[in-house]
Homo-oligomer: A and B are copies of this chain.
C-alpha cells in the first residue's frame, strides 16, 4: 500500500489530460504564454517533460485544449432572458475570462480545431439572436460587432499592472523621456488628466461602449 492507496482520493493520482491542461492554464495565467514551456509545466507537475506527451500530442494540442476550457467558462444565459440582457451578460463574462487569461486573447477565435465548448458556445449565441428575431444578416452584424468590441477591448487595454499612481507616472515619464518636451501635448494632457486620475474604472469603460453598441443594435433590429 505504498503508491496505490485504497479507494479514497489518492494524494497524487498521476497525470491526466485534464490535470495537464489545468496546470498549463494556471501557469499561463500567472506567467504568460511565453513561459508556457513543456519543461515548466512538467516541473509544476513534478514530472519529466516527456511524460506530458502521454496525454497531449504536442504543444499546440495543449493550447487547443486550454482554449476550449476557457470557452466553457463564459456565462451563457440561455433561458427566457431578453436578447439584450443575454448578450450583455455574455460580453461581460467574456471580458472577464479574457482578463483572467490574457494570454488567450489572440487565440480564442483562431483555432483551426475548435473544441466542443467552443462550438457549443457559438451555437448558443447564434440561437439566442435568431430566436429574438435577428435575421441571418443581422446576426452577422451583431456577433461581429459584439465580439470585435469585446476581444478588442481586452486586447487594447493591456491593463497596466500598476498599483500606485507613482509607478504609473514613472512609466509615463519613461515613455516620453526620449523625446523633446511638449512634442505630444494632447497625449500628455490625456495621460495626466485622465489615465492617471484615480477612479478610472476598467469595467465602466467597457460597459459604456457595450451599451452604446447594444442600443445601436436594438434600433437596427427595429428597422430590420
Bound state CA distance, A34 and B27, in angstroms? 22
Q: A106 touches which one: B105, B148, B187, B215 (CB < 8 A)? A: B105
List A residues 160-209 near B (Cβ within 8 Å): 175-176, 179, 183-187, 189-190, 193-195, 205, 208-209
**CB <8 Å contact, A109 and B158:** yes
How far apart sit A213 and B210, CA to CA, in the bound complex (Å)?
Answer: 10
Docked-complex contact A126 and B186, CB < 8 angstroms = yes
A106-B106, A152-B155 given; name 7 further pairs at CB < 8 Å.
A105-B106, A109-B156, A119-B179, A123-B185, A123-B186, A136-B189, A213-B216
A187/B119 contact (C-beta < 8 A), A148-B156, A156-B148 known: yes
Checking B113, B116, B120, B136 against A190 with a beta-carbon cut-off of 8 angstroms, the contacting residue is B136
| Contact segment of A11-19, A39-47, A139-147 | A139-147
* Cα of A212 to Cα of B119 in the assembled complex, Å: 28
The 10 nearest A-B residue pairs measured at CB: A152-B152, A148-B152, A127-B186, A123-B184, A148-B153, A212-B216, A126-B186, A123-B187, A145-B209, A151-B152
Residues of B within 8 A of A122 (CB): 184, 187
A183 neighbours in B (Cβ, 8 Å): 119, 123
Q: Does A217 sit at the interface, judged by CB under 8 A?
A: yes
Q: Which residues of B contact A185 (CB under 8 A)?
A: 123, 127
Give a binary string over A14-44; 1 marks a CB under 8 Å from any B CB, 0 the rest: 0000000000000000000000000000000
Chain B positions within 8 Å of A157 at CB level: 144, 148
Contact of A209 among B105, B110, B141, B179 (CB under 8 A): B141
Chain B, Cβ-Cβ closest to A143: B190
Closest to A119 in B: B184
